[in-house]
Structure 1
Amino acid sequence: MPFIEESDLLDLHKDIDKAQIINERLLDQIKYKNKDLRKIRLQRNVLLGITGLFVIGVLAITSFTAGLSSKNSFENNQNNHLLVSIDSLDAIKTRIDNLKEQNEELSLVREFYLAKAFIDKEKIYSVQVKSFVDNNVTLASEALTNTLFVKTNPFYAYSLGNFETLDEAQSFRKQLVQMGFKDAFVASYQDGKRIQIEDPY
């Protein structure tokens, strides 16, 4: 195993802590965004209901006044209602456009969670760089992306990278070996568990 200077290890810990804080903030932002999008969806449904009632009410009032009014007053009222309806239709169209944009943002958040769930179910490859007897390693964090910290009895394995193909993982392993991690090897994982140790070449 390569020798790591204490200052380099401290810098690595600091970088990992910073990345963990950033990831936690991003997860919090996603949670708040989901709450906002739920509120917006509820507001949209309420607005559509109110708009439907409004349109029905306007049509009922228009037809009622049309039967009671003379021909001239009927034409004047219809023109006035038409102008009011056009103005309110523009406001409704603007609101619908805003809701479409917010719906697209919600779709992006949903796609993120679907992709994460897909990765968890699919077989992935990662490069194990170290094993520890104890589970008190500050290098490991579930909030960090592209890292795995898996219990492989009786050890805790620390792996870097999430790759779809074995070739990508083997190429990354070669880079780590050149950096001094001579004991690094490729393993396959699925559902957060190691399946097997793969051929390193």
Structure 2
Amino acid sequence: MPFIEESDLLDLHKDLDKAQIINERLLDQIKFKNKDLKKIRLQRNILLGFTALFVVGTLAITSFTAGLSSKNSFENQNNLLVSIDSLDVIKARIDNLKEQNEELSLVKEFYLAKAFLDKEKIYSVQVKSFVDNNVTLASEALTNTLFVKTNPFYAYSLGNFETLNEAQTFRKQLVNMGFKDAFVASYQDGKRVKIEDPY
């Protein structure tokens, strides 16, 4: 088995840990934005209900006060001015909620795109295979490693890449470190699809 320098292994693990931290932060942001989206939808529905009641109430008050004597007309005008001011505040709040809804829609689209990419083909560099599944090569915390059953062996791969070119470049680095048998394989839904061209 080829020898890998401890410093090179540490650098690989650091890179993998950084990618995992970024991924976890993005997932946390998505969860937070989804919660905000639910709250804002509920607030918007409640606000729309109150707005409708307010408009109906304002119309009823206006109709009622229109039938009163001219002595009360000055008071009615003051009430109407207060109602118009309140309506402007509600309109501003609705506009604010619309802006927040647009921002949350962008987050939702990102989340849906990420879920779609999870179903897409990824590339990884296989460095070793074993007959038994009793080999502990990496921590469970490392997200950029794959340990997949490929009958009758268990394959150990490093890196998750979107493009074949990225995986081939990473394979060259591993070969230069001593993993002469490393090769690129494509995976989809956690299963190996095929062994790719190494160059």
In the TM superposition, what is the alpha-carbon distance from 1:137 to its structure 2 partner? Answer: 6.7
Contact 2:144 2:158 in 1 (8 A): yes
User: Structure 1 residues 168, 16: CA separation in 2 closer, same or farther (over 3 Å shift)?
Assistant: closer
Report the CA distance between 1:45 and its aligned residue: 0.6
Task: Give the fraction of aligned pairs with identical amino acids, expressed as a percent.
Answer: 91
Change (3 A) 1:157 1:98: farther
**Structure 1: 5+ residue runs without aligned partners?**
none
Verify the 8 A CA contact 2:16 2:144 in the aligned structure 1.
no
Gaps of 5+ in 2: none
Of 166-175 and 11-20, more deviation after overlay is shown by 11-20
Q: TM-score, normalised by structure 1?
A: 0.73
> How far is 1:88 from its partner?
1.8
Deviates more, 1:189-198 or 1:25-34: 25-34
Pair 1:152–1:113, CA change in 2 (3 A):
farther
Alpha-carbon distance in 2 for matches of 1:109, 1:100: 15
CA deviation string 1:126-182 (max 9, x = no partner): 322344556577765787665544332344434344444434432332233234432
1:84 Cα offset (Å) = 2.0
Q: Count the aligned residue pairs.
A: 199
Secondary structure in 2 aligned to 1:68?
coil
Q: Is the 8 A contact 2:3 2:179 kept in 1?
A: no
TM norm structure 2: 0.74
Deviation at 1:34, TM superposition (A): 2.1
Residues 71-118 of structure 1: CA deviation (Å, up to 9, x unaligned): 98179x2464x4223322332233223323432342233223212221
Provide Cα deviations, 1:3-55, integer angstroms capped at 9, x if missing partner: 23457656765775676566546534533442232122111111111111111
Would the aligned equivalents of 1:23 and 1:143 in 2 still touch at CA under 8 Å? no
What RMSD, in angstroms, separates the aligned Cα atoms of the two structures? 3.6
The match for 1:19 is 19
Tell me which moved more, 6-15 or 106-115: 6-15
Is 2:118–2:189's contact at 8 Å kept on the other side of the alignment?
Answer: yes
> Cα gap change, 1:197/1:94 in structure 2, threshold over 3 Å: closer, same or farther?
same
Q: Which residue of 2 aligns with 1:127?
A: 125
1:39 aligns to what SS in structure 2?
A: helix
Alignment of 1:1-201 (within 5 A): 1-5=1-5, 9=9, 20=20, 23-24=23-24, 27-70=27-70, 73=73, 77-78=76-77, 80=79, 82-132=80-130, 147-201=145-199
Rounded to whole Å, the distance in 1 between the matches of 2:52 and 2:130 is: 64
User: Structure 1 residues 90, 115: CA separation in 2 closer, same or farther (over 3 Å shift)?
Assistant: same
Q: CA deviation at 1:194?
A: 0.9
